[in-house]
Structure 1
Amino acid sequence: MSERQRATSDLQRAKILLVDDRAANLVALEAILGSLNQTLVRAGSGEDALRALLHDDFALILLDAQMPGMDGFETATRIKARERTKDVPIIFLTANDFDTHLAYRGYATGAADFLAKPFDPWLLRAKVQVFVDLWHASRKLSTQADLLRRSLDERRASVPGRVDVDVVADLRARLTGVEEAVADLDGGADMGPGSDARRRLGQRIDDLRQALDTLG
């Protein structure tokens, strides 16, 4: 594979941030999630996670709730306080004796889900796959939105005040494809992992659809 092909392949992969103070737990997560063929990034502490989020965009964060120093709750609170990272889904990783009160605290910080150690590998992969699929759908939608803006700008520059009907029809067809892909994710359910991300993505689709409708 050439360097260009490798770079393109990397751009098409979702980045998943794995946060745990124990290296053995990070190795286990990598072994479980490796078959998803996404980019897995390690962080050994909350501070490491916050630094990683300064430089890269992530589709999902798997965050150990009980770490020394800055624990998972404080880390999540800081992540959600940043404009750039406030919408990144977080799945908390917890011990089996995790207290219900702490679960409420986790949801209050914006957690999407909880998983208790030791994990069921199939369940973990299934939950992560939902968020990866949503990330890919969101990127596809962003691409269509950029295409809409470029097409309209080019058309208006060549013929002021006129929008090409064929361009709008093509973009409508592309948007329908994104809508169908989102509807297929997790059966389009309103509950379960990724429900908040699905709602945000659905709102973006609706906004783009309305923009297209105003163009005729």
Structure 2
Amino acid sequence: MLLVDDRPENLLALEAILSALDQTLVRASSGEEALKALLTDDFAVILLDVQMPGMDGFETAAHIKRRERTRDIPIIFLTAINHGPHHTFRGYAAGAVDYISKPFDPWVLRAKVSVFVELYMKNVQLHEQAALLRLQLEGSPSSDMVGRPTGLLAELSARLAAVEEEAEAITKKLDETSANATGSLTADHLEQRLRRLRQALDALEHAAPGDVPALPWQG
């Protein structure tokens, strides 16, 4: 996950709080540094300080949301100031999934962050399973579909069922911890990918011998 704050002591505090999640923690001391890190690395969630010299948190978030590569990464704003509902609304308008005022409860922050880490890991797992299915299809010409390995399809289906169950639990947890509807978009994205992969598996399992079904990612 990416931690963005211009004060080293705040970054140290965040690292201490989040180290228990066993994730790689990357520091950025400015908005510019954060955007540079996002060019090459993938992150489960971004913790972004609002008040920073130069490019502040709102401007940094706007740049993140404009990039196709990074627009879906959840952003949690951290701020030491509170200017009322208008200031909070500005954070959500910039694309934040949550907006937390300092000083914050370490347990609450860790709980919120852990939900997005879980969602990220499930997305990675789902991507790997979709790639495995795609490789199987690409390696099975239509004339040989009658001999496709049903054992692998059954294994993929079982794995997908497990991810679907875990995704439902994560979505419920997200509803309990996220402060606004924006956080649900990340869960919705995962559920859409789950539905597409389930449709692909169902189409392949029920295809007649010699037929290659049109799959969701093919059109």
Structure-1-length-normalised TM-score: 0.86
Number of paired residues? 201
Match of 2:191 in 1: 202
Q: Distance in 2 between matches of 1:198 and 1:69?
A: 33
Deviation at 1:195, TM superposition (A): 2.2
Match of 2:96 in 1: 111
Post-superposition Cα deviations, 1:189-209, rounded to whole Å, max 9, x if no partner, equal 646434221111001000111
> Relative to 1, partners in 2 of residues 1:157 and 1:150: Cα closer, same or farther, differing over 3 Å?
farther
Say if 2:105 is the partner of 1:130: no
2:91 partner SS: helix
Deviation at 1:186, TM superposition (A): 5.3
User: In structure 2, what residue type is equivalent to 1:103?
Assistant: T
User: In structure 2, what residue type is equivalent to 1:167?
Assistant: L
> Relative to 1, partners in 2 of residues 1:153 and 1:79: Cα closer, same or farther, differing over 3 Å?
same
Match of 2:22 in 1: 37
2:38 partner SS: helix
Larger displacement relative to structure 2 (16-25 or 154-163): 154-163
- The answer (yes or no) to whether the contact 1:156–1:162 under 8 Å persists in 2 is no
Cα RMSD of the aligned pairs, angstroms, is: 1.9
* Identical positions, percent: 57
1:152 partner SS: helix
Say if 2:140 is the partner of 1:146: no
- The answer (yes or no) to whether the contact 1:182–1:188 under 8 Å persists in 2 is no
Deviation at 1:35, TM superposition (A): 1.4
User: In structure 2, what residue type is equivalent to 1:123?
Assistant: V
Structure-2-length-normalised TM-score: 0.85
User: In structure 2, what residue type is equivalent to 1:155?
Assistant: S
Q: Distance in 2 between matches of 1:164 and 1:104?
A: 52
> Relative to 1, partners in 2 of residues 1:186 and 1:52: Cα closer, same or farther, differing over 3 Å?
same
- The answer (yes or no) to whether the contact 1:156–1:163 under 8 Å persists in 2 is no
Deviation at 1:151, TM superposition (A): 1.5
Deviation at 1:211, TM superposition (A): 1.4
Post-superposition Cα deviations, 1:138-189, rounded to whole Å, max 9, x if no partner, equal 1110111011011122233882676443333222111111101111225366
Match of 1:59 in 2: 44
